[in-house]
Amino acid sequence: MSAECAPTDGQPAPPSLLLELYGLSSTAETHPSIFYADRDPAALPTPASSESSRPFVTLTFAQSLDAKIAGVNGKQLILSGKESMIMTHWMRTLHDAILVGIGTALNDDPQLNTRHLPPLPADRPHGYRLPRPVVLDTHLRFSPDCKLLKNYQAGRGRRPWIVCAPQTASHDIASTKAFTQRAAALRSAGAHIIELAADAATGLIAVPDLLTALHELGVRSVMVEGGARVIRSFLSTGHGDSPSRESSDGPGDKWMVDALVVTVAPTLVGEAGVGYGSGLLADVLPKFEHVRTETFGPDAVMALRVL
């Protein structure tokens, strides 16, 4: 079955796969409006439990038939076709924030916006809702000249948040000074810097701590788009995996992901490509409920909920 994003009463309409995944209204009178900037925020995905200390999380990515998400050394691959890319941009309108790792930010220089969605009618002057760009960048390698910051400076995007761990750069005075200078340059370019403690064992920011920080900043939903290390971290991190916080999660927080949307492109990349399954063990991974699989152009898109 091939999915379409057909106009409804003159308004562009999102794919039904997303409506079903998130339990949204499918009536022509109501469902298109929730994807726009002036929509009712109560209609969007939020944590299942009011006691949750993290946002609702959708993990999504495109892969080849042999489960590769990038080329050699993380080089960007355009795996999604036009139709599935539009679906992804509809999904972005449903989330408060969109998160990528620093590898994706450096290799792809993404814009993380909704530019591929169809034009809106004149009675929708506010446009589509734009998610907040969030970059997980432990060592603060993000470039002040990136598209995310240029779009923000030009008024075409929201202010990016850069999440880092300053103490990982504090081995000596020189590295601390360099880190401080990079932070100052990013702030000057418009970025908002969020500083979190890194895990002592790994030197990385723990997923639960990251999500708690976003939740405390008012983020109710986040769409995680990769890259490989970020995908592995979100899939393998369970309840209580952060050593730096006390657990106050609700019953739906056994895992750090609520929904999974995977686009499979009809192509093979080969063994030199970058996958995401290395090191993942089946007995410590979440289980899924299949919601729907549809084709968007040449691509197959599978939507699942975490059990």
Give the DSSP letter string of 173-186.
HHHHHHHHHHHHHH
Distances (CA, A) of 53 to 3, 38, 215, 225, 251: 35, 26, 6, 21, 11
Q: If DSSP codes are grouped into helix, strand and coil, which group holds residue 11?
A: strand
- Asked whether residue 281 is domain-assigned, the answer is yes
- Asked whether residue 175 is domain-assigned, the answer is yes
- Asked whether residue 9 is domain-assigned, the answer is no
- Asked whether residue 256 is domain-assigned, the answer is yes
Across 28-45, average pLDDT: 63
- Asked whether residue 7 is domain-assigned, the answer is no
Burial class (CB in 10 A: 0-12, 13-18, 19+), 248: exposed
Instruction: With a cut of 80, say whether residue 222 has pLDDT above it.
Output: yes
- Compute the chain's Rg from CA coordinates: 19
Instruction: With a cut of 70, say whether residue 168 has pLDDT above it.
Output: no
Predicted TM-score (pTM) of the model is 0.90
Domain CATH code at residue 252: 3.40.430.10
Domain containing 138 equals 16-306
- Asked whether residue 208 is domain-assigned, the answer is yes
Domain count, the chain: 1
Beta strands in 52-208 (DSSP E): 56-63, 68-70, 97-101, 132-136, 161-164, 192-195
Instruction: With a cut of 70, say whether residue 237 has pLDDT above it.
Output: yes
- Asked whether residue 4 is domain-assigned, the answer is no
- Asked whether residue 6 is domain-assigned, the answer is no
Dump pLDDT digits (tens) for 87-130: 999 999 999 999 999 999 999 999 999 999 998 877 776 788 89
